[in-house]
Chains A and B, each alone.
Chain A
């Protein structure tokens, strides 16, 4: 089911000699160690690696949730390392959509309210919001579940709702941290198909952290293997 890799556009994300070190007691943890890579616009990239390899750290750095110890991270030529916290929040709000393994929907809000939340944070006019929420939920085929709470949905539906929430602000880059990690195989495939559809129809750059190499090979255009905070291999799928 591997798709043909599109010709990469100008870099959507570029990392130059990025390091992220943590001090844990006496030990210095090198979660990202001098990483340099470039992800073109419209690419679907899988970040692979075992637990502790630094792939989630890299994703958090791209999201602007974390700051590098050194090096530069460019998102559409804007250096995240030089941004203040307000600018990083704007980057997360307008440029990035994030999906988590644990879905992270707010349990007391309905689906509609959960998906509307990024629009509130981005100060989108109220009159525009309903249409945007419907559009995002239509894309993940959940428009019939607007008033349901997350607890009333299956795992797959929750992850689709999280995907709708990530898409509602029309970001250019979608970051997914183990999006199928909490799902069974069939449901996981559904989510992967949805991600690929988004990538193909919207031309959205997708960076997905996963430890499932086979699934990565089936759906992504390119896989980057991480180990001990370094890029071990970086290859386009055949």
Chain B
């Protein structure tokens, strides 16, 4: 029998037992809906986690330090170890070399320093951190009051809300006001007769800044951060202040103390996929490099397992629905026993009868799949809606915890059809094997 005839006959048969077939189809739809809802929750949570984590800047960044040359345990056990390789200092030359690497969008030091600030004549002790322009996408700035820095070298500051509360009531009133930053500047001493500088001096300085915004939390800004900063200034401004850092003492002991080195540098890349190659290149330069690449992989694995289990639980309802298909089609064989006999007497091959039942099972799977995806999508929206009401009551921003991507729509419908066809195997083969003589005798 040709495909179109098969489809027409199957559609006619499905219409003839409309109620039973509709109920079976709804059963499949409920199964598919449960699968789609579960998977959409898994995918949605994964997207949410990936989005939040990628916005911390941790996954497209490499943390670079000078290579440690402390002896390892094995070296200490060895009575005559080879001499340790000289340590390459992480200085401006190294920084420029890092900036020249492919896919690098920024290289910046982690600048944090303790300071005293003056606001409306009162002093406050706090920690200041430099913020790179690429940190603008950090989730900490999502709910910012006011605005981000107007430029990379703007004399502006963003304060953390706790500090803003100390400065003024209401805290928002600090925006637009001036703040005075008091800090220790490192100044190189003039060169001596041999042309070398012996060291540097520390000089107290002041810098006036305008407060432009308030944020809730400290942006991660890479993962070399220590201590919770409460005042944020543009990184370029922080660098020009030449504040005394912990690495200054180490510089003092070098041959060239005037030449500045960095404790660490953060290398920001154009994407998380570029991290591995860049990390290898940095290690070859003689620096130590760390990234959260392995953590990203682990996260992917955790979500894959999570999705698998959600999928299995979601599929259980579809398995139950497949029993409904078997029941419906077996009932159809009993009811249509004589009709099958007539079809065979008129020239239908076993294959035709089998295909007819398969098409009927597949059609129920297709319709159930489409309906199920629609219901699953609506359930996802209901979950999002409920979640966001809950979050809104707690003054938290709206999020999306479910997602139904196109691949899931296609996969759910294909899975529904596949399960239906498997469920139709037994009834279809039973119908095809029916003895036409017996079937025609059946009343």
Interface residues of A (CB under 8 A from B): 60, 63, 65-66, 85-86, 89-90, 92-94, 98, 100, 104, 106, 108-109, 117-118, 120-123, 126, 165, 169
B437 to A: closest C-beta gap in Å? 5
The residues of B that contact A63 with a CB separation of less than 8 Å are 345
Within B108-154, the residues touching A (CB, 8 Å) are: none
A65-B437, A108-B12 known; A86+B346 contact, CB < 8 A = no
A14 to B: closest C-beta gap in Å? 21
A93-B346, A165-B346 known; A123+B440 contact, CB < 8 A = no
B349–A106 CB distance below 8 A: no
Q: Which of B4, B16, B349 contacts A89 (CB 8 A)?
A: B349
B349–A85 CB distance below 8 A: yes
B172 at the interface (CB under 8 A from A): no
A149 to B: closest C-beta gap in Å? 13
B347–A93 CB distance below 8 A: yes
A89–B9 CB distance below 8 A: no
> Could you tell me how many residues of chain B have their Cβ less than 8 Å away from some Cβ of chain A?
23
Q: Which of B12, B352, B440 contacts A121 (CB 8 A)?
A: B352
B216 at the interface (CB under 8 A from A): no
Q: How far is the CA of A161 from the CA of B76 in the complex (A)?
A: 104
The residues of A that contact B440 with a CB separation of less than 8 Å are 65, 100, 104
Q: Which of B16, B345, B347, B349 contacts A94 (CB 8 A)?
A: B347
What 10 additional pairs, Cβ within 8 angstroms, besides A100-B345, A108-B16?
A65-B344, A89-B348, A104-B342, A104-B345, A117-B343, A118-B346, A120-B9, A121-B347, A121-B348, A123-B5
Q: How far is the CA of A58 from the CA of B97 in the complex (A)?
A: 97
Dominant secondary structure of chain B at its interface with chain A: helix
A86-B351, A104-B338, A123-B1 known; A117+B346 contact, CB < 8 A = yes
For B328-343 the 0/1 string (1 means CB < 8 A from A) is 0000000000110011
Q: How far is the CA of A199 from the CA of B2 in the complex (A)?
A: 32
Q: How far is the CA of A109 from the CA of B338 in the complex (A)?
A: 15
B413 to A: closest C-beta gap in Å? 28
Q: How many A-B residue pairs have CB under 8 A?
A: 62
Q: How far is the CA of A148 from the CA of B87 in the complex (A)?
A: 98
A90–B347 CB distance below 8 A: yes
The residues of A that contact B5 with a CB separation of less than 8 Å are 120, 123
B350 at the interface (CB under 8 A from A): yes
B347–A118 CB distance below 8 A: yes
The residues of A that contact B351 with a CB separation of less than 8 Å are 86
Of chain B, the residue at the smallest CB distance from A107 is B339
A62 to B: closest C-beta gap in Å? 12
B224 at the interface (CB under 8 A from A): no
The residues of B that contact A94 with a CB separation of less than 8 Å are 347
The residues of B that contact A85 with a CB separation of less than 8 Å are 349-350
B436 at the interface (CB under 8 A from A): yes
Of chain B, the residue at the smallest CB distance from A65 is B436
Q: Which of A104, A106, A122 contacts B347 (CB 8 A)?
A: A122
For B344-378 the 0/1 string (1 means CB < 8 A from A) is 11111111100000000000000000000000000
B2–A120 CB distance below 8 A: yes
Q: How far is the CA of A104 from the CA of B440 in the complex (A)?
A: 9
For B1-28 the 0/1 string (1 means CB < 8 A from A) is 1101100010010001000000000000
